[in-house]
Amino acid sequence: MESENRRFFYCSCFSSENIFLSRYRLHVHFESHQQFRRDYQEVLRRCDCVTDSQIEDVIKEVSQEVERRQRLSVTSAERAAVIRDMYRPLHPHIYHLKESFLDPRFTQVVEYCRSSSATEQGLSNLLEEQPAPRVFRLPVFNRSFCEQLLEELEHFEMSAVPKGRPNTMNHHGVLLDELGFDEGFFTPLREQYLQPLTSLLYPEYGGGSLDSHKAFVVKYNMKEDLDLSYHYDNAEVTLNVSLGKDFKDGHLYFGDMRQVPLSDTECYEVEHRVTEGLLHRAQHMHGALPISSGQRWNLIMWMRASQERNTLCPMCNRKPTLVEGHGFADGFTATPTLCPTLPVC
């Protein structure tokens, strides 16, 4: 596969920007204690974080997150190696994508998109009405696959192997690359099934040139995370599939693109339906309302197009400064002008 021979990078902003303080529902930037106090003391005061020791606690939390991110590439590769050696999958066959896992209506839609006469309008006619502007609902997996995947994830959760967490905003869930799903499952799903759709739906957002992804599962339950704050994803196009289990509420809501202020934004609420996916532009702001009972597990695939990201990192809004990573890292690549000596350029 083309992507396996390429090297992918992070942007250096990864270790200093967009650090989420869940208690205050605030994204912050951290370079030093002085800078942090200067930039956030006032904002934090308004959130009831007033005393010196409260602010010191926040600085400690942020510094730990910075250190976690600086070590992430190495710790993630170490965890993946331990999982490969020690973890015995419950359902080994689901690690390789087969058409029998997919809803036949999904494969029909993909078939249409692969034809040379396919158009965006023709595709929209095959899909349900858009639940929010440029958000598309589609059947993806069948129920039996969703159930087996959930059983696999619960089996993994109960095992003794080390586990990472999806990102700063989601505390609970599973990183599917570390579990070994990338090569046999998500790369073919992206290349053979999703890209034919995204090239028609989001050509101006890199939908036709996706070349990497980050796939993970988020989990909400009454004793852990209930909801997810308003945010955008570090990607170009996102697929979000509801896997189950039984839950009430927890709807997604979509605003506008990240450049549009919230005050100028109309929000749309979109329900999850087990086995179905929602495709959206990754930088379309969204969040998740609290569940009111049960457990909600969703498969999230942040799909990336290096051609887009290499010119502008969506997280810092600058041309990315590349930092080595393992696997797909954050989907940036070295281009001849950025790095003339690398053989992969």
Ligand X SMILES: O=C(O)CCC(=O)C(=O)O
Per CB under 6 A, residues contacting ligand X are 170, 218, 228, 233, 240, 252, 286, 288, 298, 300
The continuous run of DSSP H or E covering 229 comes out as strand 228-231
Least Å distance between CB 231 and ligand X? 7
- By a kind-dependent CB cut-off of 5 to 8 A, residue 288 interacts, out of Fe ion, ligand X, none, with ligand X
- By a kind-dependent CB cut-off of 5 to 8 A, residue 170 interacts, out of ligand X, Fe ion, none, with ligand X
Least Å distance between CB 272 and Fe ion? 13
Least Å distance between CB 178 and ligand X? 16
Least Å distance between CB 288 and ligand X? 4
Q: Is the Cβ of residue 40 or residue 178 nearer to ligand X in the bound state? A: 178
User: Is 178 near Fe ion (CB under 5 A)?
Assistant: no
- By a kind-dependent CB cut-off of 5 to 8 A, residue 7 interacts, out of ligand X, Fe ion, none, with none
Q: Is the Cβ of residue 174 or residue 228 nearer to ligand X in the bound state? A: 228
- The span from the CA of 159 to the CA of 166, in Å, is 18
User: Is 225 near Fe ion (CB under 5 A)?
Assistant: no
Q: Work out the burial of residue 62: count CB atoms within 10 Å of its CB; fewer than 13 is exposed, 13-18 middle, 19 or more buried.
A: buried
- What are the backbone angles phi and psi of residue 194, rounded to the nearest 5°? -85, -40
Q: Is the Cβ of residue 178 or residue 233 nearer to Fe ion in the bound state? A: 233
Q: Is the Cβ of residue 150 or residue 300 nearer to ligand X in the bound state? A: 300
Q: Residue 14: which of 35, 36, 29, 33 has the closest Cα?
A: 29
- The span from the CA of 333 to the CA of 345, in Å, is 8
SS3 assignment for 73-91: HHHHHHHHHHHHHHCCCCC
- The span from the CA of 254 to the CA of 233, in Å, is 12
User: Is 233 near Fe ion (CB under 5 A)?
Assistant: yes
DSSP reduced 3-state for 123? helix
Q: Tell me which residues touch Fe ion (CB under 5 A).
A: 233
